[in-house]
Amino acid sequence: MANVVPQQAYVIDDSSISSPSTDNVEVLLVGMKLAAGSLAVNTPTKIFSTAEAIEAAGEGSQLVQQVRYLRSQSSRVNTTIVAMDAPAGAAATFTITFGGVATTAQALQFQVEDQTITVPVVIADDGTAQATAAAAELADPKYAGLHVTAGSALAVLTLTVRSLGEHGNEINVKKIFEPPGTTQAVAAGVAGTGAPDVAAALASLGAIRYNYICIPDTNATNLTAVQTFLEARFAALVALDGAAIAGKRDTVGNLATLGLGEDTEQILILGDPSMPANPWAQAAVYAAARATKTNIKVPLRNVNLNLVPPDPSGYLDADDRNTVLAAGIAVYFYVGDVPRIDRSVTLYKLNKLGQASTAYFDLETKLTVSEIRQEHMRVLRPELGKVLLDSIASTEVNVLTAGDVTDADRIRDILTTQYVDEFMPRAWTSDFDSYKTTLVVTKTGPNSVTFFEKPKINGILYDLSGTIAFTQG
């Protein structure tokens, strides 16, 4: 039976003090490119500017939008992009049908994504004239970053999503103001179908730890692929753990259905029916905010997100927010009309024993677990190569030939001494009663031992594990 080291408690503080790992945080943006982009698909590439992203993926592409929004939140983010093959399917379209005859010279306005399009209208302009003017306005280079192209025929303006796939159905197109005598009718046209293969893009990543992975959609197959990928990376012998972030624009009912139908502890979905920015852009903003947080163990609830808010009439009320949160979907709240994230809840519904949890699994907690693992990796690396002797009389680490570790205190010292000395002053977000850990050390081979921690964070138990390899002496 393995030796159990007595429980050890850490004093916790929530002050925002710089973490030594913050400057090394890596963000991966997974999205689709356009034909104009030079980047080969499924090829991770470092990006240092928006201009580089445009050359690699094409202006108006999903990837360029992700880069632009990420850098609008913070330009100091280590960023890698990986492009996916376009799926078999259709590109979504939207139509705006203009009617009536203008009785005054006032501009009409509509919103595409988070851009307000202002179209000059003169007296006597009919629907065809309005649609033609709207298409001419959207041809202005200032709108080149939109993920749609525009064209008009008679009184109808048609917006066509630049990439194939069901994600295009979630683009925001909304009427804002119609001048006296005129009408604007917004409708969905052709439905976008198909989803790009996230799994192939993830398979190209290699052994790099990406702390935050922004995925382009919430297609069920892709969510499963991302969860499988990240669970494998959270394994003890890999320890490349990270979190995936996606966005979703849909009704409250559909968001709740999505959340309740998934069980994914590694994925955060930002859900909102009215947030104007495209869902993949929202995910990139969240990732940038998290990546540049001075203490990554502290939640984002007090951080302003650089997103255009919806009209206040589109804010979720308390009941709807609770409905979406209870389903495992993260939602926004607003301070002075500036968006902030309410709670980084994930889609985790069952623990590893298959037991239901009403607490759910919060990404902030997962990040704390991840940081503990990474701190231990930094502590353990200098210890690799220590001499392991089977002799019970040895002054080195003692392990019985056929049994468990006999000198558990020495192993505990290796695991925790530097950790306590170096990282205790930097603090963890929790309190004495809800964060403590039990350490179990077991010999698993002639030259190695494993350690298992069972930390309790915010009242929930987790398993952290790892291996130390020694040189036989």
> Does residue 354 register a pLDDT over 80?
no
Reading the block at residue 301, the tokens are 């609830």
Please provide the average confidence, as pLDDT, over all residues in the chain: 80
Tell me the fold of 93-188.
Baseplate Structural Protein Gp11; Chain: A, domain 3 (3.90.1160)
3-state SS track over 329-355: CECEEEECCEEEECCCECCCCECCCCC
C-alpha torsion angle, residues 456, 458, 460, 463 (rounded to 10) = -40
Helices (H), 139-251: 198-202, 220-233
C-alpha torsion angle, residues 257, 262, 267, 272 (rounded to 10) = 0
Contact by Cβ (8 Å): 392, 398: yes
pLDDT at 20: 34
Reading the block at residue 219, the tokens are 């297609």
Residue with tokens 């009215």: 274
Instruction: Note the pTM of the prediction, 2 decimals.
Output: 0.77
> Does residue 427 register a pLDDT over 70?
no
SS3 186: strand
Longest CA span, the chain: 100
SS3 250: coil
pLDDT (mean) for 29-45 = 95
Contact by Cβ (8 Å): 248, 218: yes
Burial string for 172-194 (b: 16+ CB within 10 Å, else e) reads bbbeeebbebbebeeeeebebbb
Burial string for 296-318 (b: 16+ CB within 10 Å, else e) reads bbbbbeebebbbebbeeeebbee
pLDDT (mean) for 322-328 = 87
pLDDT at 404: 59
pLDDT at 315: 95
> Does residue 467 register a pLDDT over 90?
no
pLDDT at 419: 38
pLDDT per residue as tens digits for the range 385-416:
555 555 555 545 565 555 556 666 666 565 55
pLDDT per residue as tens digits for the range 52-62:
999 999 999 99
* Lowest-confidence pick of 116-130, 161-175, 233-247, 299-313: 233-247
One-letter amino acid for residue 353 of the chain? L
**d(C-alpha 290, C-alpha 287), whole Å:** 5
pLDDT per residue as tens digits for the range 223-248:
999 999 988 887 656 667 788 999 99
Percent of the chain with pLDDT over 70: 66
DSSP of 32-43: EPPTT--PPTT-
Contact by Cβ (8 Å): 33, 83: yes
Confidence tier at 292 by pLDDT (50, 70, 90): confident
Q: Which residues contact 140 (CB under 8 A, 6 or more apart)?
A: none
Contact by Cβ (8 Å): 96, 128: no
One-letter amino acid for residue 379 of the chain? V
Helices (H), 342-447: 363-380, 408-423
Confidence tier at 2 by pLDDT (50, 70, 90): very low
Q: Which sequence spans correspond to the domains of the chain? A: 3-13+382-472, 26-86+195-291+301-341, 93-188
pLDDT at 39: 95
Which H helix or E strand runs over 136?
A: helix 127-138
The candidate with the shortest Cα–Cα distance to 367, out of 73, 25, 10, 30, is: 25
